[in-house]
Every structure is written in C-alpha cells, then in structure tokens.
Amino acid sequence: MRDASPPNLHISRHPLVAHKLSILRDVSTEPKKFRELVRELTWLLGYEAMADLAPRAKQVETPLEVTDGAELEPRVGLVPVLRAGLGMVDAMLELVPTAEVWHIGLYRDERTLKPVEYYNKLPDAATVQICLILDPMLATGGSAAATVDILKAWGAVRIKQVSLIAAPEGVATLSGAHPDVDIHVAAIDRALNERGYIVPGLGDAGDRQFGTFAGPGSEPGHGPDPETVEVVRRLQRDLTS
C-alpha cells in the first residue's frame, strides 16, 4: 500500500500516534479512555494536517520589545461527520479556537453500503477558506466523498480529510473522486470485511466513544456481552408482542 499510495495521502509516522492508536484499538479500552484517546490523536493529526496553512505577518509586543510574529490567515471550518466525528471537534478547537464548526449527518445503508444524508446545517455560502472533515474511520470512502461533494457544492475551495484509521478501499474511493483532497490518517489498515468494516480496525468508533452498540449483530470488539444481548432480545420481544 505504501508504494502505491496516492500523493494526497499522509500517514503519520509519529511514535506517540502509533502508541495511542494501539491503546485505542484494544478491545478492553473503555469508552471514557477511548474518548480521551480520540481527542489526543485528533490533536496530533490536526497539528500535522495544518502544517501547510499560510500565516500572516504580525507585530507582537513582548514585555521587553516589539518583535515579528505570525497569525493564522485562512479561516478554518471544521466539519465533523455525525456522530463519531463529534469526538474530534474539541481537540481541533484547542488548536484553532476561531474555527467555525458545521455539522453534516450521513449514515451508511447496511445493504448498499452507500451514504445517505440526513442532516446538513451549512449556511447558504462558504464562509471559510479551508474545511477539515473530521471522521474517525475512512472505510468505504463513500461518506467521505459525499461530504466533499456537499462542501464543494457549498463553495469550499480547499478541503482536507482527517481520520484516525483508513482502509485502502476508502482511500482509493476518496482519492479517485477528489484527488485534490489531502487525507491525513494515523494508519492504513488491511482491508474491509464483507460488512464494510475496517479490519483489523477498532470496532465502531461511534459506539465505542459513546458506550452504545448496534444490536446483537454488532462487530466483535465493540458489541455487548452475552447477558446484555439476551436482555435486549427479551425487551425486543416484549415490545413486539
């Protein structure tokens, strides 16, 4: 994968990223710790993703004298893809407190694996010079490509994707549809399984952040224990009887 990587793909080589990602993947990592790690990894990846933003010269008065300084020139927009992307927002706002935050809601149809838009609160016209799409998982790439389509139609000129892990299929889909979008990730995993989940992956990032699960058929690594499954099934039977 490295040899065939598209030029817009940026995989972090920082040892802290590798260390924190390993803990994030661990099935025993509880939601509170998982959220903390998502935030820390986002901070590190966001730092790398914004390394090429152009600063503007500015004079700064220190306690001793006036000196040359800099301030961020382009207005930055953060676009977390609901709901898993919400856990990445605070870290990015720590880096860029003046950033605007706009939410886009997409879900993946479990039968077609295609993205379906259900929420979009973008203003009438683009108000920022660069948009960072925040989504922990770049799996099939369909949701990412659809989000970029929405942002470009909105008027966004420069767009970056920031994800924790990605599948080769997702990178290929997004790069093929939008080669001008830089992709910043902590790691590229092996592949997608038959259900469209990244393997080895880390489970469902939204479920693991918020302590929820997708039902008895959840992917191993983020689903409920057998006792919880039985309780859910009993409740479902009661509701439908």
CATH number of residue 136's parent domain: 3.40.50.2020
Same domain for 135 and 241:
no
Same domain for 238 and 184:
no
Catalytic-labelled residue, pool 135, 182, 189, 207: 207
Q: State how far the Cα of 208 lies from the Cα of 224, in Å rounded to an integer.
A: 11
Same domain for 17 and 129:
yes
pTM: 0.81
Structure tokens at 154: 């909105």
Same domain for 219 and 166:
no
Same domain for 219 and 140:
no
Of the candidate ranges 18-32, 148-162, 188-202, 217-231, the one whose mean pLDDT is the lowest: 217-231
Model confidence at 229: pLDDT above 60: no
Same domain for 191 and 118:
yes
Q: State how far the Cα of 121 lies from the Cα of 79, in Å rounded to an integer.
A: 10
Q: Does residue 136 fall inside a structural domain?
A: yes
Beta bridge partners of 67: 60
Q: Does residue 64 fall inside a structural domain?
A: no
Catalytic-labelled residue, pool 109, 112, 190, 234: 112
Same domain for 203 and 132:
yes
Model confidence at 218: pLDDT above 60: no
pLDDT score at 221 = 44
- Give me the mean pLDDT over the 57-69 stretch: 95
Q: Does residue 36 fall inside a structural domain?
A: yes
Strands (E) across the chain are located at 9-11, 55-61, 66-72, 76-82, 100-101, 104-108, 115-120, 130-134, 137-138, 158-162, 165-166, 182-185, 187-188, 191-192, 198-199
Catalytic-labelled residue, pool 108, 127, 149, 158: 108
Q: Does residue 169 fall inside a structural domain?
A: yes
pLDDT score at 216 = 39
Of the candidate ranges 4-18, 184-198, 213-227, the one whose mean pLDDT is the lowest: 213-227
The band of 74, judged by pLDDT with boundaries at 50, 70 and 90, is confident
Same domain for 19 and 47:
yes
Active site includes 112? yes
pLDDT score at 113 = 65
Task: Please give the mean pLDDT across all residues of the chain.
Answer: 85
Number of domains in the chain: 2
Q: Does residue 164 fall inside a structural domain?
A: yes
Q: In terms of C-beta distances under 8 Å and separation of at least 24 residues, what long-range contacts does 26-29 make, across chains too?
A: 27/203, 27/220, 27/221, 27/222, 29/208
The better pLDDT of the pair 105, 192 is held by: 192
pLDDT score at 213 = 61
Catalytic-labelled residue, pool 135, 182, 189, 204: 204
Q: Does residue 2 fall inside a structural domain?
A: no
Report whether 166 contacts 200 (CB < 8 A). no
Distance set, CA 164 to CA 28, 44, 89, 138, 233 (Å) = 18, 10, 13, 8, 33
Same domain for 151 and 192:
yes
The band of 79, judged by pLDDT with boundaries at 50, 70 and 90, is very high
Active site includes 180? no
pLDDT score at 122 = 84
Of the candidate ranges 61-70, 90-99, 105-114, 193-202, the one whose mean pLDDT is the lowest: 105-114
The better pLDDT of the pair 53, 230 is held by: 53
Active site includes 108? yes
Same domain for 146 and 224:
no
Q: Does residue 61 fall inside a structural domain?
A: no
Report whether 82 contacts 136 (CB < 8 A). no
Range of the domain at 223: 212-241
Q: Does residue 233 fall inside a structural domain?
A: yes
Same domain for 113 and 231:
no
